[in-house]
A and B are shown apart, each in its own frame.
Chain A
C-alpha cells in the first residue's frame, strides 16, 4: 500500500513539474490513491487463498500456557544491607 501511494505521488509530482500543471499532479495522485484503495481495502478472496492454519481450540486446552515462576529476591538485598551499615 505504502509503495503504491509513494509511487503514484512521485509519478504525479514528476508529471506535474514537467508539464507545468499543478492540476495534473493532483489528478494523477488522486488516481493513484483510488487505485490503492481498490487494491487494499476490500476483502479480496485471492489474498486468502492459503490461510494460516490456527490451532484447534480442543488441542489448545490439552497444552496449557506455562506460568512464569516468581524469582527469589532475598539473597541480593541481604548482601547489600550489611555493607551500607
Chain B
C-alpha cells in the first residue's frame, strides 16, 4: 500500500488507513479506531518525549479519524507544538489540524496566534503562506483582532513576494467578511486599488476579490477602481488567446479575472466618464461577439470558461440596465442558449432571462420566447431546469399572456415534482389575482388549483379567494354557483369543502332560486362531506349551518335537528361541541332581527397586502419577490384608509376560548343601553371578537408598524432589503414637524428617488402638509432626510400615504406606507380633579358624543405599560379619579386650527376575561370614533 503514498508518506498512517478500509463492519471500524486512539493517547501521555515525526504522524491520524466523522477531544496541544517546528512538513500538518479542528479554548488560541505571529514575521514566504492560510481558514474574531492590522501592511509592502500578496489579499477578505469592524480602512486602501495594475495576474485576481467586497461597503473609497477595472478588462478581452500564457484557460484569456472584474463593476452604476463608459461598452460588445464565433476547442472546459464570462457580462448589462441595444443582444444570445443541447446552458439561460424580464428594455424581447419556455416546462428531464422555466414564466407574465401562462402552469402542476408544487400553487394564485380582468377566471383558477393540488394549497391561498369574493359583489353569484358545482364531485379536497362552505354560507342565497341548488340541496351537499372532514373544517361548516338558518329560514328545523344530534351536542371535541350548543341556542332564542344582525353578510375586508405574496417571499427568501409594493399600488385605488382590524368570520377558527360564551353575552348587555341598530356592527365584533384576531391572515405589513406609532413619535416605520425609513416627529398644539429618514441599505445608488406624501381629497381639507423635495440620488449606505411640516386644520380620520419610487440597479421600486400622522398627535393633556372630570363626563352624555369599544387584550395586561401608552397617546393620565383603581382615566384637548375639542377617556380592564372596555366622550362624534379606534389598537 505505500505505493499509493506520495511525498513524505507516513507509513504508519498508510497502514492505519488500510486497516480501516479493510474493516468489514461499522463495529470493527469503531473498534480499530478506539484501539488507535488509546495508542495515540498513551504515546502523548508517555514519559518519553516524542520526536517531530511521530507527533506529526499521530496528529495526522487523529485528523483522519476526525474526518471519518468521529469526535476528537485531544491532540490539540501536540498540533500547536508542531506549529513552531522548523520543518515545513511538520508545521504544515500542525496548521492543517488547527484549521480543521478549531478550538475556542482561549489558552490555545493565544498559543496559535503566537505561532502565527512568528511565521508572519519570519520573512520566509512558505511559512508566511501557511500562517495566512490558517488565519483565512479559521477566520475567527480572535484572529481578526490579532492580525487585521498586520495583514494590510504585508499586502502593500513593496518587498512582499507575489504569492504572499495573493494569500494576504484573500486572508484579509476573509477577516473583513467575519469582522468588518476590525479591518481598519486607511492609507493601504488606495494602494490596494492599484494592485489592479499589477504585472502578476495572480495578484490582480486575488486583489480584485478583495476590492469587490470592500467596494460593496465603501463604494466612495474604491471608486477609482472602476476605470482601472475597465482598462484591465479591455486588455484581457482584446488579447490573443496566447498572450496571457498560463492565465489562458482552454483558449480563454484569464476567465477568472474577467469574471471578477465584471463582478467588481456590478458594484457601481455605469461609469460617468464617457471614455470609460465607451470602452466598457466595447468590451461587452466584444464578449457578445465572441459568443458567435466558432469555438477554439471542442472541450467543454473551453465553452464553460467562455460562457462563464459571457453570463457575467450579461449580468453586468442587466445591472446597468441602461443600454437597450446591449440588453436586446443579451436576450437574443440567451434565446439561442434556450435551445442548446447542453442542459447547463439551458438552465443558465432560463435563469438569466428571469432578470432580463424585469427590464423595461428587454421585457418584450423576453416574452417572444414564451413558447420555448413552455416547451421546456413540458419536456425538460431535470427538475432544476423545469424550476427555472416556472420562474421565468412567472417573470415574463403580464396582462397580455397571463391567461396562457396560468393555464400552462396549471397543466404542469398535474405532474409537477412534489418539491416545487407549493411554490407553483402560490405563483399561480398570485398571477391569477394580479391579472384577473374577469374575476370569474380568478375563481375558476383557484378552484382548479384546489382540484389539482389541494394538498399544496395553503391557508393563505384559500383565505385570499374568500376575501376577494367577499369584496367583489360582481363575482359572488358566480362563485357560489361554481363551488356548488365543484362540490358535486364525489371526492373533493377538504380545502374545497372549506371554500365551498364559507362561500355558500355567505352567498348561497344567490343561487337558491334555482331548484337544482335549493337551500336544502345546498345543505345536504355540504353535510354529506361533514363527516369526512377534520375538526377545523367541521367547525367551519357548523358556522355555515348557522348562517343558513338566517339565509334560509325554511330549513331552520332541519339544521336544528343536525345541531341537536348527539354527535354534535356531545362531540368529544370541545370546540365543535361549544359551537353546536351555542348555535342551536342562538337559533332558538334569538329573534329574526337579532339573527339577521349577528349573521349578516361579512363586511368587505380591508385591502391589504396579499398574504400569498408574503408567503412566497418567505419561501423564496427575502429579496426574491420584489413586486409586493407594485401589487399593492395597483390595488390601492380602492384602498380604504381605516385601520380597523380585519373582521373575519369566527367560523374559520378552532381555538376554543372560555370567554367566547355567546349566551353570556345575550344575557348581560355590555353597553349601557340596548344597542341601536346602527351599532349592530360592533355586536358582531363582540360575538366573535376573541377569534377575530387569531385567524385574520394578517401579513406582516405597514398596518402593524403604523399602529406602533400611534403612541410614540420616533422609530423605524418601514424596512426591507433595500430601504429603511425612520421617523422623528414633534407636535405642539395644532402644528407638527416630522423628519423622515431614508436609508439606502445597499451599496448601490438609488436613482430618481422620489418620496411623495399623498392625502386623499377629504384629508387635504383637514390636514395641511408641506414637504421639501429630496435629492433624487441616494448613495449606497447613505441616508437622506425629508422634513414634513404639518398643520391640523380640522379633525380627520385617515392617514396620509407615503409613496416612494426609485430605481435600484435595473429595477423600478415603488412602495407605499401609511404615514403615522394621527388625530391624537394634536392632543394637549389636561389635568383635572375627580370632581371636574365627572362633571364634564356628565355633560358629554349625549349618545352621539360617546363611543365605546370592548375588545380582547392583544398584549399582556400590564398596568405600567398601559399608563405609558395613554400618556404616549397624548392625554393626561388622571390618577385617583376613577373609583375603581384598576381603571384608567385620561383627559385632554385636541387642537385643530378651527376648533378645540375636549376629550375624556376611560379604560376598564377585565383581567379575568382578558378584555378591555374603552369609552371615549368628546364633543364631536367623529373625534370620539377616531380616538377610540386608534387607542383600541394599542392594547
The answer to whether A and B come from one shared complex is no
CB within 8 Å of A: which residues of B? none
